[in-house]
Amino acid sequence: MSLDTVVMAGRSRSSRPSTATLRVARVVAVWEPGGAQLAVLRLIAALRRRGVVTTRLLVGEATSAGLELAARHRVPVECYGDETGLQWRPSPEFASWLAPRLSHVDVVHAHMFGAWWAAAEAAPRGVPLVASEHNEMTWPAGDFSTAASAVAPRIDAFFAHGPAALDFAAGLGLRPGVLRAGRSAVIGLDARPLPRLPSPRITFTGRFRSDKAPDLLLRAVALLREPPMTYLVGDGPDRSRLVDLAERLGIADRVVPTGWSHAPARYVAGASVHVVPSREEAWSQSAVVALGLGVPVIGTAVDGLSRTLGDGRGILVPPDDPGALAAAIERVLAGDRPDPAPGITYARTFTPARLAGHYLPVYRALIR
């Protein structure tokens, strides 16, 4: 199925003025500093400017850093918190916790399988349910495809982010016209570099986790003839392992793990090359920000990242191949880089204002 599917089919609703305030309860399975969570916060802010009020942000589990991120955006969070792994599995207990919290709203929008499964069980009859899936369904806790299909008839709109999520959703048995392409907003396209950053430099921004593969970047940097300074902007469970790996590879003096940054684009702006070495990637906000800043981007040919960097916007290499990645970095550092214009144009289609225009008509169509 094409990512360009745009037809919307909803249940019959009572008529409602298009200018009326719309109330949304938003449910997220896991709340931590990450791309999906940032996309949710930007969507909340963009829709608020269009008269859409997020009455509640309800999450299954949360990290302290995730809660700090929400507080920074002035979005209060209510957390269930009695279980872990809720992104990937159904929880009747989470659904029971949600049920009394999903009243007095016009739309429920749930992100990640565990959230939209629970919301399908808990949302009041007659309240439209919107689902978003941000990742390839790898099912680390067991395959719950049957449970997903069982709640598909309750879903009124399904936003799939990336080809793998789209293929998964297409097999659920959703009603015709429900499936749509998901979109995320980026910010920082006008960022200025932080002072005193070295040049040349390589940048990576994202979670320090196996699926984002910062370890692959370190192995590639170790193969370069003259490794430039490499900035790992972010944090995550693999931080200590990455520090140890840099030591073992003999490049610890060339690698800077900056920690979590609320303005990662300021490291990327003016960089020699930005690397997205992911093992799984539906789209990549990181890549799009770098493209929008005119920075050459090298990424792995996985899932939606192939589309993000396609049409000459970036450079694609095989996944889990540090030699191929190192060779591509060497070429860019030597001056062989893509024309930045297509990437800049592409990135500017993902501003928060455009994001609001992607989702708001769907919400309004569902409540008419």
- What would the CATH number be for the domain defined by 22-184+352-367? 3.40.50.2000
pTM value is 0.89
Residue 177: its H or E element: none
Given this model, what pLDDT does residue 356 score? 93
Among 47, 54, 107, 20, smallest CA distance to 353 is for: 47
pLDDT in tens, 179-223: 999 999 999 999 999 999 999 999 999 999 999 999 999 999 999
C-beta of residue 214 within 8 angstroms of C-beta of residue 242: yes
Reading the block at residue 129, the tokens are: 């349910």
Is the separation of the CB atoms in 180 and 162 below 8 Å? no
**Predicted local confidence at residue 363, as pLDDT:** 98
- Determine the Cα–Cα distance for residues 177 and 193; give it in Å rounded to an integer: 44
Q: Tokens 């490049």 — which residue?
A: 251
Residue with tokens 């005119």: 294
User: CATH fold of 201-347, please?
Assistant: Rossmann fold (3.40.50)
- Average pLDDT value over all residues in the chain: 94
Which pair of structure tokens corresponds to residue 141? 């806790």
Q: What would the mean pLDDT of 309-332 be, rounded to a whole number?
A: 98
pLDDT tens for 263-319 read: 999 999 999 999 999 999 989 999 999 999 999 999 999 999 999 999 999 999 999
What is the residue extent of each domain of the chain?
22-184+352-367, 201-347
Closest CA to 11 of 105, 107, 99: 107
Could you read off the pLDDT of 34-51 as tens digits, one per residue?
A: 999 999 999 999 999 999
Kindly calculate the radius of gyration of the chain based on its CA atoms and give it in whole angstroms. Answer: 21
What are the CB-based long-range contacts (under 8 Å, 24+) for 245-249?
A: 245/215, 245/218, 245/219, 246/218, 249/218, 249/219, 249/221, 249/222
Token code pair at residue 230: 């490499």
- Taking the C-alpha atoms of residue 283 and residue 134, their distance in angstroms, rounded to an integer, is 9
Domain 22-184+352-367 matches domain 201-347 at the CATH topology level: yes
Residue keyed to tokens 């990640």: 112
Number of neighbours of residue 321 by Cβ within 10 angstroms: 17
Measured distance CA(142)–CA(127) in Å, rounded? 30
Structure confidence at residue 368 (pLDDT): 84
How far apart are the C-alpha atoms of 229 and 273, rounded to whole Å? Answer: 11
pLDDT in tens, 214-253: 999 999 999 999 999 999 999 999 999 999 999 999 999 9
Say if residues 287 and 261 touch (Cβ distance below 8 Å): no
Nearest-angstrom CA–CA distance, 258 and 8: 43
Helix (H, G, I), strand (E, B) or coil at 340: helix
Q: What is the pLDDT of residue 19?
A: 54
